Amino acid sequence: MNQAAKRAGEGAEIPDLEALWLPFTHNRLFKKNPRLVSRAEGMYYETPDGRRILDGLSGLWCSNTGHRHPKIVEAVKAQLDELDYAVAFQAHHPLAFELANELTAVAPAHLNHAFFVNSGSEAVDTALKVALAYHKANGDGGRYRLIGREKGYHGVGFGGISVGGMPANRKAFASALIPGVDHLRHTYDREQMGYSCGQPTWGGHLAEDLQRLVELHDASTIAAVIVEPMQGSAGVIVPPLGYLERLREICTQHGILLIFDEVITGFGRLGHWFSPDRLGVQPDIIVFAKGITSGVVPLGGVLVSDTIFEAFMTGPEHLVEFFHGNTYSGHPLACAAALATLQVYQQDDLFARARTLEPLLEQAVHALRGEPHVVDIRNFGLAAAIELEPREGAPSLRALEVFQYCFDHGVMVRYSGDVIALGPAPIASADEIGVLVETLRAGLRAAS
Ligand SMILES: Cc1ncc(COP(=O)(O)O)c(C=O)c1O
C-alpha cells in the first residue's frame, strides 16, 4: 500500500491507487491526497476511516432520492434473484416494457416512446442519431447539420463532444469531431445577469442566433438543435426568460428537431419530472440518465415523440428499423432500479419537496455575496453555482482549494473551472442546506 493510500484510510483497508486511471480527475495530485468514500446513506457519504460527508451534489447530480434508498436497494436485490441479464436484441424482458410505460406516463404527453442505453453520453449520441435517421426516413436526408451551444455539456461520445461547447473536452479530439456542427452562443453574461435569482430577465434575444444559423446554412440542411434546458456542467447557467420559447418557435417554423438534454434537469432537479413541466417549452426529444435510477444502477435513454417514432415504423416488418443499441440496453437491474426510483419520487412526493427547498437554497447561496473571491451566484431548482475570481496564472486552483476545504470539513461540493456547484437531493433538510452553505462560506474565507 502506498503512503497516500494509508493516509486516506488511516488504518482502514485501502487498495493501492496506482492502477486506476480516474475520469475527469487530476490523477497525480489526487493520488497524493485521495478523497475516498466507501459507504453512503441518505444525504451522507462515509469515508473509509468513518468520517461523515454531507453530499451537496446528489452524487454527480444523480442520487436524487438520497443514497441507498431502501426501496430501490430492495428492488435491485430482488431482481438479482429473478433475472440477471436478458438478451437485448431480438428478445427482451418484461421489466423494460413496464419501465417504458411508467416513464412515458410521467413524461410530456407527446413523448410516448423510450429507447434505453446505459449513460447520458450514450443517450445523447442516440438522440443525435435518431434525429439524423428521422429526417432520412422522411426523405429529408439533406438535413445533416446538428446545432449545439457554447458551454454545452453532452457527455463524452464523439457526437456529444461535437455538439458540446466546452473547449477542454474538444480540443484534443478536434480532428475527429463530427462534421456539419455549428453552435449557438452561450447565454451567460455576468455584467447583464450577475447574481440573478432563478431565470435571468436578460438574454432571451440570444435565441435569435438560431435564426442566424438558419439563414447561414439554410434550414433544409439542419436536422436538430440540442441544448440543456439549464446548463449544468458549465456551472448552472439558467435559461433567460423567453429563450427556450424562441428556440422552440424557430425550430417549429423550420422543421428542425429540438432536443432537450435533461440528464441533469430531469427527475426533480427543477422540482418536476422534466423541464417542460416547469418551463412550458416542449422538445421533440428528451435525453435522460442519472436521476432515472437515482444513481443506483447506470441507465440512460431518450424519449421521442409519436411523430418521430412512427417515421421509423415503416418498411417490411421483418427488418430492423433503427440500427442502434447496446448489449445492456434496458438491463434488468437498471430497469428494476428505475421502476423503484420512479415510485419513490411519487410516494415520497420528492419533487414537491424540491420546490419547497428551492427558495431556502436560493436565499442561502445568495447570502454568500460579498464573501472573498465571489464574482457571481446563480440558482435554479435545486442547483446553484458560486463563481470565483480565478487566481492569476492558475485557473481553477482556488476553486479546488475551496472544494478540498469543504471535503476536509465534511461537505462534498463540486468544482468545475472556477465555479463551485451545489445540487443537494430533495431529501435534504433545511439544516443540511445551512451546513452546506456555511461550510462553503468558511472555505471561501480560508482560500487565498
Ligand atoms: C447534460 C448532460 N448530458 C450528458 C451527460 C453525460 O452523462 P454520462 O456521464 O452518464 O455519460 C451529462 C453528465 O453530467 C450531462 O450533465
Q: Output the CATH code of domain 37-65+349-446.
A: 3.90.1150.10
13 pLDDT band (50/70/90 cuts)? confident
Q: pLDDT tens-digit profile of 207-232?
A: 999 999 999 999 999 999 999 999 99
CA of 260 to the centre of ligand 1 (A): 12
> Tell me, what's the pLDDT at 1?
44
Q: pLDDT tens-digit profile of 19-43?
A: 999 999 999 999 999 999 999 999 9
Listed by start position, the domains of the chain span: 37-65+349-446, 73-347
Which residue is closest in CA terms to ligand 1's atom 7?
A: 120
DSSP one-letter string for 313-377:
S-S-TTS-S-----TTTT-HHHHHHHHHHHHHHHHTTHHHHHHHHHHHHHHHHHTTTTSTTEEEE
Q: Are strands 222-227 and 257-261 parallel, antiparallel or unpaired?
A: parallel
Ligand 1 surroundings by CB, under 6 angstroms: 119-121, 124, 153-155, 228, 232-233, 261, 263-264, 289, 300
Contacts of 249 (CB under 8 A, 6+ apart): none
> Tell me, what's the pLDDT at 288?
99
Identify the helix (H) or strand (E) that includes residue 60: helix 58-61
d(C-alpha 321, C-alpha 342), whole Å:
29
Ligand 1 atom closest to 120 (CA): 7
Residue 421 pairs in a beta bridge with 385, 414
Ligand 1 atom closest to 124 (CA): 4
At residue 72's C-alpha, the angle toward residues 426 and 94, to 5°, is: 125
CA of 122 to the centre of ligand 1 (A): 9
Domain 73-347 has CATH 3.40.640.10: yes
Largest CA distance in the chain: 67
Q: pLDDT tens-digit profile of 175-207?
A: 999 999 999 999 999 999 999 999 999 999 999
Which of 124, 162, 259, 275 for mutating ligand 1's site (highest number of atoms within 8 Å of CB)? 124
Q: How distant, in Å, are the alpha carbons of 57, 82, 188, 229 from that of 232?
A: 11, 37, 13, 9
CA of 296 to the centre of ligand 1 (A): 16
d(C-alpha 421, C-alpha 401), whole Å:
14
> Tell me, what's the pLDDT at 321?
97
d(C-alpha 96, C-alpha 107), whole Å:
16
Task: Yes or no: say if 130 and 144 are a contact pair by the CB < 8 Å rule.
Answer: no
- Mean pLDDT score of the chain: 96
CA of 443 to the centre of ligand 1 (A): 27
Identify the helix (H) or strand (E) that includes residue 261: strand 257-261
d(C-alpha 257, C-alpha 423), whole Å:
29
Residue 422 pairs in a beta bridge with 384
CA of 116 to the centre of ligand 1 (A): 15
pLDDT(160) > 50: yes
CA of 121 to the centre of ligand 1 (A): 6
Which residue is closest in CA terms to ligand 1's atom 13?
A: 155
Task: Yes or no: say if 306 and 110 are a contact pair by the CB < 8 Å rule.
Answer: yes
To the nearest 10°, report the CA torsion of 121, 111, 274, 257: 60
User: Closest Cα to residue 383, out of 409, 411, 354?
Assistant: 354
> Tell me, what's the pLDDT at 12?
66
